[in-house]
Amino acid sequence: MRTLTRITAVALLLASVGGFIANSEDFGPAKQYYDEFIQRPSLQMRTRGRVKLASSGHPGAFKILSESYAKAEEPKPQVKYQLTTICAMYFKDQEFDAGWTAWREKHDKTEDAWLWYRSQIIHAENGGEADLYTTAEEHKDLFLRCTALEALCEVGSEKLLGWWETKLDEADKWKGEERALMLAIGAKTLYTEAHSYGGDQFRKTALKLIPQIDHKKTEDVTKVIMARYFREIFGGDRLFVNAAPWLDRLLNPDKETRGDDKYAPATPPTKFVGVEAAGKRIVYVIDMSDSMLKPMSVKEKEEIKKPVKKPTGPVTGGGGKSDGGEEPAPEDEPEEDPLPWDKIKTRFDAAREYLKLSLRSLQEDQFY
């Protein structure tokens, strides 16, 4: 989570500093600026120096920045992400394509997936699509194979749906990470190519991909990912996790009424301090600051006992309107076991007791 937060912060930083520099900067002044700022302790200042250098568009700038990837300072993952992104912003032309290829081939581990993804987009846009298909078929690293497919999806390769139609003949053999990644990217590709919905190639590929949502090796999280893409393609508000309703929409797009079907399974809601969560993996977030040790007043105890208003949103499990528009019958909610309020003196005491109550309500197939 910390890594994701840092990467997000770097991305926002790149967006903010990228706008104030003109692309016509001369290499000399830009290099001088870079040499000064790259020594700063702040990542923000070093980023300014890198962007300034890249904005010159000079081959020398590309050489300096691409070679510094191997010597990235801490935090290394964020700096490598930053270097790749900056270079992808300023060095897209054909003259840099060979440099991108050399850079990519020097660094071919899973951790270099972002470099592979961004550089392959540039390579494809400069006429190298065929190399991406070779990578997708032959590279030894699963994640780097997938970067080629993501890049081909990004550039809208005309051959991609046909590639997937053939590749899906192997789908029954996929398992674990490979199955999860391939099916998710396949569904994303179908979504990206939805403009060809109704075309022969789209139909052939969809007929092979959609049934994989039913496969016994397809994990629940992958089913939901696929269902989300399918819902965007075919419409509706349900996340069906079996193939039949999606195939029905594919083969009968003009059908006016549709029956209900199997959708993301409803689990009994898990409550924590009145907040409901449904699903198989529940995350509890509890404040552990000093304020949690302050004694609770009678008013605070009464406030915390009040029911929380239920949020509304897309249906991903049981409940909500059916495809026919009918409201489901209201369900009787079981009353929660009373908490030992005589033992609850502080906010932390309340959080602890609510957590114990919530954990006892988890089903056998739920995790926390």
Q: Where do we find the tokens 């197939």?
A: 365
Low-confidence ranges of the chain (pLDDT < 70): 1-25, 257-270, 274, 277-279, 307-338
Residues 108/69, Cβ–Cβ less than 8 Å: no
Q: Report pLDDT for 41.
A: 95
Give the HSE-up count for residue 333: Cα atoms under 13 Å, Cβ half-sphere: 9
C-alpha closest to that of 269 among 256, 253, 282, 259 = 282
Tell me 128's DSSP state.
Answer: I
Residues 182/136, Cβ–Cβ less than 8 Å: no
Q: Report pLDDT for 1.
A: 47
Q: Where in the chain does DSSP place strands (E)? A: 270-272, 275-277
What is the C-alpha to C-alpha distance for residues 224 and 221, in angstroms, rounded to an integer?
Answer: 5
Give the model confidence (pLDDT) of 280-320 as tens digits. 778 888 888 998 899 988 888 888 777 666 555 544 444 44
Phi, psi of 336 (to 5 degrees): -75, 150
Other Cβ atoms within 10 Å of 348 Cβ, number? 19
Give the model confidence (pLDDT) of 184-199 as tens digits. 999 999 999 999 999 9
Residues 89/23, Cβ–Cβ less than 8 Å: no
pTM exceeds 0.75 for this model = no
Other Cβ atoms within 10 Å of 313 Cβ, number? 8
